[in-house]
Amino acid sequence: MILQALTAHYEQLLKRGDISAPGWDHAFNVSFYLVVDDAGRLLRAEDVCTFVQKGKKQVSAPLKLSVPSHVKRSSGIAPNFLCDNATYLLGADEKGKPERAVQCFEACAALHHKLLDDVDSPAAAAILAFFDTWQPGQAPAHPALAERWKDITGNANLLFLYEAADGARTLTTEDPAIRAAWQAHYSSADSNAPAVPCLVTGQSASPALVHPSIKGVRGAQSSGAALVSFNAPAFCSYGHTQGANAPVSEYAAFAYTTALNALLADQNHCRVIGDTTVVCWAENASPAAASLGIFAMFGAPEDAGLQEGDLTRALELLAAGKPCTWLGETLRHEQHFYVLGLSPNAARISVRFFMRDTLGEFARHLREHAENLKIVRPALDKRETLSIWALAQETVNRSERTPTPAPQLPGDLLRAILTGGQYPATLLDGVTLRIRAEQNVTRGRAAILKAYYLRNPSPLSAHKEVLTVELNENATYLPYVLGRLFSVLEAIQEAANPGINTTIRERYFNSACGTPAMVFPTLINLAQKHLNKLPYGQEVYYQQQLTDLLGRIHESYPLHLSLPDQGAFQLGYYHQMQKRYAKKSEEE
């Protein structure tokens, strides 16, 4: 299903002219042009890198060009056509293996002679003359290379450019005769291999034994990793080797890898969250639908020129089965949308999740999640919504040098949100541990508690009256009332001792939340002493609150509270605290 969807996406991009045809690598990094003349002499090495803004500074970035497909190297010598590194095109040796460098150059020369010997083109003749006259041993001292030798022989790709005597310049990848020669060579590859039904297209074709590499997955090998591979006998069966165990045609292998690499290189289709690289795309390769999905899942960047209200309205229309206009394009709820989560695994890529549904269904699940998270927020918190990363960050210790959540948590959370499934238990565990460690119920943690118990079955799910956005003053559920009571007791202490460094929250919150019977009698007794210190008006005000809350307790304090009941306690505390702060703001 994944490979079919990516192949279909490739074909849509190819139809629009946004991606390379089979046999060509789209947006390949090229750092230098090797400029040669009619006699094959190297005139100069032109740096074609450009400076781009990355954060607060400018960095050098290679030029993105369409070049002949590169082979997948693991070991041995395997040259590429027209574009390769300095070892193959120049015979440069920077690894202390001069003999191997010469062998790489000779293999590259043989490949170019094989493809270009019968090509009637000045550019092809210039390339062949270069290979016939170039001396690898003299490369470091060549005047066209000496000044930038380290850059050229570093992690740089070089591409031939032909300059005629009259100064006319031709990029060899754009020469029609050379392109035709490469296409014929690419199409005839493995023509003698037996044809089998392709698992992606269903058509009979020679299977790709080695699939092209996938680049751009965070944490995977920078040179690329495999989504489909068989590199040990244990993975093979029925006498097949490598990719023949899961026959995918050369065309389909090229198509799905090219499409996926293009998605991974585009920030409008890709985001990284935790250890998961998330890629999304829409049916018909709609860029507007992809951007809507990315912004809905991860938030819109500040420079996008969009308001959160714009995103909310679009999702509401799609969730209701109505079309919406987004970035000048009309999106319909029945349009299909794809979300793929990838994680690194040595030389391979693991599929964490793959989801396919309509835009309307994804929008409905996102709106449900947003509704579950709604909770009264502090006046200083200007965030309308909480992103997936913001929720995951509520489970970490912010005082750590690099506070990061559990690697799998963000991906698991995203999958739950988009499918409407249960939130991962690790989310609740992480929030509960942070509340116990810090004795602090933040807006994000309270929102997670509310959302978790609304969606995940638990004893607390039957008490929806406490899983509200704001304080429910009529709720009589005992753990919720105790949480409210603790907040009032804390307020009385702070009023009686302004500027106090350590309140009952730091000393007693965990005990009050877990074993109320052990703590509340002491706290009530302490509160009476604090009330005696207050002016008459304040004393009456707080005494009324105490009387009201204590009047709702018709049983003895529980010896222990279960985890869901602790969640109700924490929500009651948070709601009462925000009510108290809101009243202070009104008075001010």
Mean pLDDT, residues 194-217: 83
Which value, to the nearest 10 degrees, does the dihedral of the CA atoms of residues 12, 17, 22, 24 take? -140
Tokens of 173: 């990848």
Q: Is the pLDDT of residue 241 over 50?
A: yes
Model confidence, pTM: 0.77
Q: Is the pLDDT of residue 216 over 80?
A: yes
Mean pLDDT, residues 434-458: 95
Q: Which amino acid is at 511?
A: S
**pLDDT grade, residue 303 (50/70/90)?**
low
Can you list the positions of beta strands (E) in 359-457?
none
Instruction: Return all residues near 548 (Cβ < 8 A) that are at least 6 apart.
Output: none
The Cα-based distances of 106 to 88, 128, 264, 418, 520 in angstroms read 8, 12, 35, 53, 85
- Phi, psi dihedral angles at 553 (to 5 degrees): -95, 110
Q: Which of 316, 357, 350, 320 is nearest to 336 (CA)?
A: 357
CA distance 538 to 496: 10
Mean pLDDT, residues 439-455: 95
Q: Is the pLDDT of residue 75 over 90?
A: no
- In the 8-state DSSP scheme, what is residue 282? E
Mean pLDDT, residues 83-98: 89
- What confidence score (pLDDT) does residue 588 get? 46
Instruction: Return all residues near 265 (Cβ < 8 A) that are at least 6 apart.
Output: 27, 215, 216
Three-class secondary structure of residue 352 per DSSP = strand
Q: Which among 63-77, 419-433, 569-583 has the top mean pLDDT?
A: 419-433
pLDDT digits (tens, 9 = 90+) for 7-66: 999 999 888 878 878 888 877 899 999 999 999 999 999 999 988 877 778 888 899 898
- What confidence score (pLDDT) does residue 562 get? 95
- What confidence score (pLDDT) does residue 424 get? 95
pLDDT digits (tens, 9 = 90+) for 149-197: 999 998 899 999 999 999 999 999 999 999 999 988 887 765 566 778 8
Q: What is the mean pLDDT of the chain?
A: 89
Instruction: Return all residues near 236 (Cβ < 8 A) that are at least 6 apart.
Output: 230, 242, 245
Mean pLDDT, residues 529-540: 90
Q: Is the pLDDT of residue 481 over 70?
A: yes
Mean pLDDT, residues 398-420: 88
- What confidence score (pLDDT) does residue 583 get? 58
Residues 139 and 91: beta-carbon distance below 8 Å? yes
476 vs 74: which has the higher pLDDT: 476
Q: Which residues pair with 342 in a beta bridge?
A: 277, 351
pLDDT digits (tens, 9 = 90+) for 270-296: 999 888 999 999 988 888 999 899 888
DSSP letter string over 166-227?
TS-EEEGGG-HHHHHHHHHHHHTTTTTSPPEE-TTT-SEEPBPSSPPPB---TTS-TT-BBS
Q: Is the pLDDT of residue 553 over 70?
A: yes
